[in-house]
Structures are given as structure tokens and as C-alpha cells.
């Protein structure tokens, strides 16, 4: 944890000290008053994971997503005292991990909660594990001074990998069943239905692969890489370009020239940008792609309003298929 973030959370903890007393996760349904008294309190770092938890928990859970708007950038998010209180009262906590939402780890540590924590990144086949994470974690600061701790060589945007989300959903059902055995059948049934829909996403990705395997895609950030790899496509983006954009740093001039050359040479069939962030270099890539009549898609890091995880991924996959077929 960085000194600045630790200081912030210590201040939050002091401000909330009286309210937080005896509020740590209890390992069972929340004992609060009101219509949600008999439900488990689930707190997720973003609405992507919050919606999946709602899908699996049904009426037996009350879910709060710390980040619930596309206007909030998870990389730059600073928690409030209310966020700290929400985490401290959770029966179950869900985070992405891998350095993506480090504010959750900081709040968990500051609150002293005993609630179980599900970390989505750990279900990805490429996750290096606790030992690897400790050895390879790399901290960066963007131009605005925000710190990003990432696991070197690991793409933390695991919600774009349907296979990872399958195992993640199973873990949610298992943990909820432990916390609330009376509703275990509900959780298992809902998880099975969700996983069936994941299979539908994978079938659509297989169709793209059958028609377009090996075709090149340029991504301004590594957010959708898992999805394009699952579709059998090749990521042609220089790693130094996407890393710099993700970290909010200037792209080295030589790397920018290399990236523009890749977009111009005819090997890129689709460009995918992050709709929630950008910069001068991203704009140059988009403008160059547009000049070359290359389709440009915009994907997000949080769930768009009115969407479920499944409908959102279905839309992304359909847009990708349409762009490749253009």
C-alpha cells in the first residue's frame, strides 16, 4: 500500500470510528433492520461483479457496488468514509484483484473485516498466485499522481475472459451457500443458469474464430485482450503503447510511430479503444484507423446502465463480429 493511500484510509477510519464499531462482516446474513434484514450483504468493487453477484444470489442477497458508473475510472478511484463503512458491514466482499482495484484491499485492511473475500483474478489461468504476485507486483504513478500496482506480465482485466467468469461464478455460489445454507439450492441453480449463458458467449467467440482466426486487432489499452484472444484474433498492439496509455503516461515517440505504422500497413482489421479513458495518442490511433476505413469500437471497464454482464458481453462480441465482417 502506498503511503498516500494508507494515510487516506487511516483518516477515513478515524472519521468513521464510532459508526464502524462492531460492524465487521459476521459470516452470516446481515442483522440489520428493514426489508433487507434477512439477506446477505455483498459488496463488490465494480458493478460488473455486483451484477454477477445479484444474478447468482437472487433475492437472498443485497449487493452494493463501490463503482457503479462509467464516469468513475477504477484506476483513479478514491474511496470515501461511506465506502469504508459499506465494506466493514459486508458479509461477502468481491474484488477483481491483480492490482486493478487496490482500493478494495486497502479498505479491507483498514476496516479489519472478517468477511470472506472472493478475488476474481485468481480464477484466471494466467494468474501467478500469491508468491508470484508478491514477487512481480510493480507500482506506477500516472501524470496525475495516482498509483497503480500491477502484477508484471499479467492482464488484470479478467472479466473480459468468459472462462474465468465461469469459475468465478462457481466460487460465488459456493461462498454464498456456506454463508446461507438454507438458500444453497437457489445459489447453485442460479450459477448453473449463468454458466449456461457463458457457454453461449464462448460459442459466439468460436464462430468468430472459425471465420477470422489470426486476423489482427489493435487495442489502445489491454482491457479487451482476453476477449479477442478467445475469438482467435491476434493482438498487434506494441505492449509499450497499451501499457503507457493504461498508466496515463506519455507513449514514447518511437513506440507511437511503430503503433501508427501497424495501423497503416493493412494488418489491423479492428481498433478497440477504452470508452472511459483516452489521450492524445489514443486519438491519433483512432484518427489513423478512421482514415484507413478501419472500424473502431469502444469497450468499457464498467457495466453500462441497463445491461447485465451477459447482455453486455453479447453486445461486445456482436459488435466485434460485425466489425470484422465489414
Residue 44 has pLDDT above 60, yes or no: yes
pLDDT of amino acid 37:
55
pTM above threshold 0.75: yes
Percent pLDDT > 70 in the chain is 82
Pairing label, strands 147-151, 216-219: unpaired
pLDDT of amino acid 118:
98
- What is the rounded distance in angstroms from the CA atom of residue 255 to the CA atom of residue 238? 7
- The pLDDT-based confidence of 38 (bands split at 50, 70, 90) is confident
pLDDT of amino acid 12:
46
pLDDT of amino acid 165:
98
3-state secondary structure the chain: CCHHHHHHHHHHHHHCHHHHCCCCCCCCCCCCCCCCCCCEEEEEEEHHHHHHHHHHHHHHEEEEEEECCCCCCHHHCCCCHHHHHHHHCCCEEEECCCCCCHHHHHHHHHHCCCCCEEEHHHHCCCCCHHHHHHHHEEEEECCCCCEEEEECCCCCCHHHCHHHHHHHHHHHHHHHHHHCHHHHHHHHHHHHHHHHHHHHHHHHHHHHHHHHCCCEEEECCCCCHHHHHHCCCEECCCHHHHHHHHCCCCCCHHHHHHHHHHHHCCCEEEEEEECCCCCHHHHHHHHHHHHCCCCEEEECCCCCCCCCHHHHHHHHHHHHHHHHHC
- The pLDDT-based confidence of 72 (bands split at 50, 70, 90) is confident
Tell which wins on pLDDT, 140 or 304. 304
The average pLDDT across 48-61 equals 98
pLDDT of amino acid 141:
40
Question: pLDDT (tens digit, 9 = 90+) per residue, 134-189?
Answer: 333 444 444 444 444 567 789 999 999 999 999 999 999 999 999 999 999 999 99
- The pLDDT-based confidence of 286 (bands split at 50, 70, 90) is very high
Are 300 and 274 a contacting pair, CB within 8 Å? yes
- What is the rounded distance in angstroms from the CA atom of residue 300 to the CA atom of residue 182? 37
Residue 315 has pLDDT above 80, yes or no: yes
Residue 33 has pLDDT above 70, yes or no: no
- The pLDDT-based confidence of 59 (bands split at 50, 70, 90) is very high
pLDDT of amino acid 25:
38
- The pLDDT-based confidence of 3 (bands split at 50, 70, 90) is very low
- The pLDDT-based confidence of 126 (bands split at 50, 70, 90) is very high
Question: How confident is the prediction for the chain on average, in pLDDT?
Answer: 86
pLDDT of amino acid 151:
79
Question: pLDDT (tens digit, 9 = 90+) per residue, 221-276?
Answer: 999 999 999 999 999 999 999 999 988 899 999 999 999 999 999 999 999 999 88
Q: Which domains does the chain have, with CATH numbers?
A: 3-196 (3.40.50.1980), 213-325 (3.40.50.1980)
Residue 190 has pLDDT above 50, yes or no: yes
- What is the rounded distance in angstroms from the CA atom of residue 296 to the CA atom of residue 81? 39
- The pLDDT-based confidence of 304 (bands split at 50, 70, 90) is very high
Amino acid at each position: 500500500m502506498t503511503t498516500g493511500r494508507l494515510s487516506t484510509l487511516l483518516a477515513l477510519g478515524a472519521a468513521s470510528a464510532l459508526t464502524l464499531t462492531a460492524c465487521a462482516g459476521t459470516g452470516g446474513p446481515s442483522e440489520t433492520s428493514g426489508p433487507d434484514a434477512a439477506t446477505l450483504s455483498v459488496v463488490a468493487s465494480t458493478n460488473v461483479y455486483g451484477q454477477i453477484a445479484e444474478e447468482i444470489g437472487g433475492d437472498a442477497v443485497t449487493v452494493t457496488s463501490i463503482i457503479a458508473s462509467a464516469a468513475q475510472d477504477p484506476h483513479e478511484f478514491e474511496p470515501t468514509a461511506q465506502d469504508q463503512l459499506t465494506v466493514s458491514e459486508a458479509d461477502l466482499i468481491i474484488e477483481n484483484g491483480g492490482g486493478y482495484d487496490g482500493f478494495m484491499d486497502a479498505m479491507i485492511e483498514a476496516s479489519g473485516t472478517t468477511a470472506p473475500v472472493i478475488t476474481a483474478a485468481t480464477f484466471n489461468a494466467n494468474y501467478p498466485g500469491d508468491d508470484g504476485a508478491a514477487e512481480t507486483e510493480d507500482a506506477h504513478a500516472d501524470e496525475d499522481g495516482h498509483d497503480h500496482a500491477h502484477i508484471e506480465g499479467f492482464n488484470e482485466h479478467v472479466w473480459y475472459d468468459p472462462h474465468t467468469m465461469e469459475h468465478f461464478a462457481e466460487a460465488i455460489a459456493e461462498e454464498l451457500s456456506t454463508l446461507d445454507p438454507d438458500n444453497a439450492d437457489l445459489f447453485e441453480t442460479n450459477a448453473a443458469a449463468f454458466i449456461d449463458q457463458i457457454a453461449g458467449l464462448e460459442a459466439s467467440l468460436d464462430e468468430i474464430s472459425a471465420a477470422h482466426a489470426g486476423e489482427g486487432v489493435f487495442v489502445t489499452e489491454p482491457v479487451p485482450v482476453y476477449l479477442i484472444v478467445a475469438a482467435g484474433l491476434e493482438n498487434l498492439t506494441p505492449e509499450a503503447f497499451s501499457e503507457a496509455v493504461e498508466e496515463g503516461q506519455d507513449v514514447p515517440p518511437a513506440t507511437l510511430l511503430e503503433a501508427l505504422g501497424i495501423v497503416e500497413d493493412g494488418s489491423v482489421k479492428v481498433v478497440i479503444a477504452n470508452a472511459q479513458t483516452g489521450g492524445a495518442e489514443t486519438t491519433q490511433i483512432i484518427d489513423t484507423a478512421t482514415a484507413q476505413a478501419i472500424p473502431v469500437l469502444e469497450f468499457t471497464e464498467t457495466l453500462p446502465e441497463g445491461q447485465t454482464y451477459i447482455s453486455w458481453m453479447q453486445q461486445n462480441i456482436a459488435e466485434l463480429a460485425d466489425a470484422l465482417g465489414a
